[in-house]
């Protein structure tokens, strides 16, 4: 089935809307079912969802081409999730059609000694996308209110002056992150954030698959499995993070992640929505440029 870009954009908005959080205050994680697939019934509609993703990927490629040509806006997509929620797969599939020249992915792991010698935004600021580019953060400064909150020993390693580390530190971090993202928005950097929400049960299934399937053994880390002991603390941290940092200019999308094919459709839809809001156009060329083109054509045709 062939759909025009405008129709795809309309459908994308419908898919993204139920999962978009612009005002965090009343957000409750329990209201999002990780197994949700909207109107798609699982097995029967899976091919339809894959087709929707393929069309979404095409539309994205077109929008990104304009973003690149226009060279004014930058787009920053942030992915956060528990392990095995499908961040890597979502990034890979959703961005599969875009021009690699206009897209960069950065993965943020445990901070290095050099990172720890700076403020926590430092390493991320160095990786912000140029104008015309889509930048993807696979994990981000949000780890600072997630893993660092769940494991206070990480905070202890950050070399902060002790009198700056008190009970208020999380509140302060939320405030700084909100301000940072507003600053980015005011500079033409569009920020969209994704929490891929997988259930504890589905995570267990995926870990077991990584252990049982030799081709997936490399993906398994017993440390990831140990983090399951802290599941409830993580969920509380995620909930509060979204409550405190979902804003109009930098919304969170809380994406059901128990069905990978569905996660990818929603993420693609949200990215399309963000780009479509920019009213991207190819730059118009002026009189002088048109004259230059006509002259070049005449010369080319004459030889
Ligand atoms: P994958 O497992 O799919 O390769 P990943 O993003 O889980 O991807 P890992 O190398 O397994 O990558 O894990 C990175 C780890 O680094 C995560 O456990 C994450 O919580 C941790 N991390 C990231 N940022 C920070 C931070 N600022 N402080 C402490 N730990 C962090
Ligand atoms: Mg990992």
Q: Residue 297: which CATH number?
A: 3.40.50.300
Q: Exposed (0-12), middle (13-18) or buried (19+): which is 147, by Cβ within 10 Å? A: middle
Q: What is the pLDDT of residue 44?
A: 75
- Laid out side by side, the sheet with 252-256 consists of 20-21, 252-256, 189-197, 74-81, 134-138, 103-107
Pocket lining: 108 vs ligand 1, CB cutoff 6 Å? yes
Instruction: With CA atoms as reference, report the closest residue to 140 among 78, 67, 218, 51.
Output: 78
24 close to 243: Cβ distance less than 8 angstroms: yes
Torsion of CA 147, 181, 137, 79, to 10 degrees: 60
pLDDT tens-place string over residues 246-282: 999 999 999 999 999 999 999 999 999 999 999 899 9
Q: What is the pLDDT of residue 43?
A: 74
pLDDT average, residue stretch 233-251: 98
Give the closest ligand to the alpha carbon of residue 87.
1
Average pLDDT of every residue of the chain: 95
| Minimal-distance CA residue to ligand 1 atom 15 | 109
User: Tokens at residue 238, please?
Assistant: 């995620």
Tokens 């539309």, residue located: 59
> 55: CA distance to ligand 2 center in Å?
30
- Count of domains observed in the chain: 1
| Minimal-distance CA residue to ligand 1 atom 29 | 110
Q: What is the pLDDT of residue 2?
A: 56
Q: Please give the share of the chain, as a percent, with pLDDT higher than 90.
A: 89
Atom of ligand 1 nearest to the CA of 83: 7
Torsion of CA 194, 227, 177, 32, to 10 degrees: 40
Q: Kindly report the backbone phi and psi dihedral angles of residue 189, in degrees, each rounded to the nearest multiple of 5, phi listed first.
A: -105, 115
Pocket lining: 83 vs ligand 1, CB cutoff 6 Å? yes
User: Tokens at residue 246, please?
Assistant: 């979902």
| Minimal-distance CA residue to ligand 1 atom 14 | 109
Q: What is the pLDDT of residue 40?
A: 86
Q: What is the pLDDT of residue 51?
A: 85
Q: What is the pLDDT of residue 150?
A: 98
How far is it, in rounded angstroms, from Cα 121 to Cα 112? Answer: 13
Residue 1 has pLDDT above 60, yes or no: no
Q: Kindly report the backbone phi and psi dihedral angles of residue 164, in degrees, each rounded to the nearest multiple of 5, phi listed first.
A: -90, -5
pLDDT average, residue stretch 225-236: 97
Instruction: With CA atoms as reference, report the closest residue to 52 among 276, 264, 274, 270.
Output: 264
Q: What is the pLDDT of residue 239?
A: 98
> 84: CA distance to ligand 1 center in Å?
12
Instruction: With CA atoms as reference, report the closest residue to 248 among 196, 197, 193.
Output: 193
Pocket lining: 256 vs ligand 1, CB cutoff 6 Å? no
Q: Map residue 98 onto helix, strand or coil.
A: coil
Q: Please give the share of the chain, as a percent, with pLDDT higher than 70.
A: 99
> 182: CA distance to ligand 1 center in Å?
26
> 176: CA distance to ligand 1 center in Å?
22
C-alpha distances out from residue 207 to 34, 204, 216, Å: 17, 5, 9
pLDDT tens-place string over residues 146-195: 999 999 999 999 999 999 999 999 999 999 999 999 999 999 999 999 99
Cα Rg of the chain (Å, integer): 21
User: Tokens at residue 171, please?
Assistant: 């509140």
Pocket lining: 148 vs ligand 1, CB cutoff 6 Å? yes
Pocket lining: 144 vs ligand 1, CB cutoff 6 Å? yes
pLDDT tens-place string over residues 48-72: 888 888 888 989 999 999 999 999 9
First to last CA, the chain: 45
Pocket-testing residue among 84, 115, 123, 139, ligand 1, by greatest number of atoms within 8 A of Cβ: 139
Residue 4 has pLDDT above 90, yes or no: no
Question: Domain residues for 125?
Answer: 2-301
139 close to 109: Cβ distance less than 8 angstroms: yes
Does the pTM surpass 0.85? The reply is: yes
Taking every pair of Cα atoms in the chain, the longest distance, rounded to a whole number of angstroms, is: 77
pLDDT tens-place string over residues 170-182: 999 999 999 999 9
Instruction: With CA atoms as reference, report the closest residue to 193 among 131, 234, 147, 140.
Output: 140
> 124: CA distance to ligand 2 center in Å?
19
Instruction: With CA atoms as reference, report the closest residue to 222 among 230, 210, 234.
Output: 210
Counting every residue, how long is the chain?
303
pLDDT tens-place string over residues 88-113: 999 999 999 999 999 999 999 999 99
């Amino acid at each position: 089935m062939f759909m025009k870009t405008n129709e795809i954009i309309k459908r994308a908005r419908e898919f993204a809307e139920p999962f978009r959080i612009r005002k965090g205050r009343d957000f409750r994680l329990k209201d999002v079912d990780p197994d949700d697939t909207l109107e798609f019934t699982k097995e029967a509609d899976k091919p339809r969802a894959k087709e929707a993703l393929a069309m979404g990927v095409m539309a994205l490629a077109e929008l990104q081409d304009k973003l690149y040509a226009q060279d004014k806006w930058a787009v920053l997509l942030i992915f956060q999730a528990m392990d095995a929620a499908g961040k890597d797969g979502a990034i890979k599939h959703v961005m599969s059609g875009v021009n690699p020249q206009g897209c960069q992915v950065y993965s943020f792991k445990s901070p290095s000694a050099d990172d720890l010698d700076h403020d926590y935004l430092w390493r991320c600021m160095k990786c912000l996308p140029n104008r015309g580019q889509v930048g993807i953060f696979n994990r981000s400064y949000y780890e600072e209110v997630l893993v660092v909150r769940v494991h206070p020993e990480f905070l202890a390693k950050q070399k902060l002056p002790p009198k700056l580390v008190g009970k208020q530190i999380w509140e302060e971090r939320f405030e700084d992150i909100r301000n940072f993202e507003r600053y980015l928005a005011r500079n033409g950097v569009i920020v969209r954030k994704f929490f891929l929400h997988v259930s504890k049960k589905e995570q267990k299934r995926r870990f077991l698959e990584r252990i049982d399937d030799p081709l997936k053994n490399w993906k398994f880390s017993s440390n990831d499995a140990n983090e399951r002991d802290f599941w409830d603390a993580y969920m509380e941290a995620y909930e509060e993070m979204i409550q405190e940092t979902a804003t109009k200019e930098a919304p969170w999308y809380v994406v059901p992640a128990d069905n990978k094919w569905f996660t990818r459709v929603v993420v693609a839809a949200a990215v399309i929505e963000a780009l479509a809001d920019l009213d991207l156009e190819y730059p118009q060329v002026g009189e002088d440029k048109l004259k230059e083109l006509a002259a070049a054509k005449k010369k080319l045709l004459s030889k």
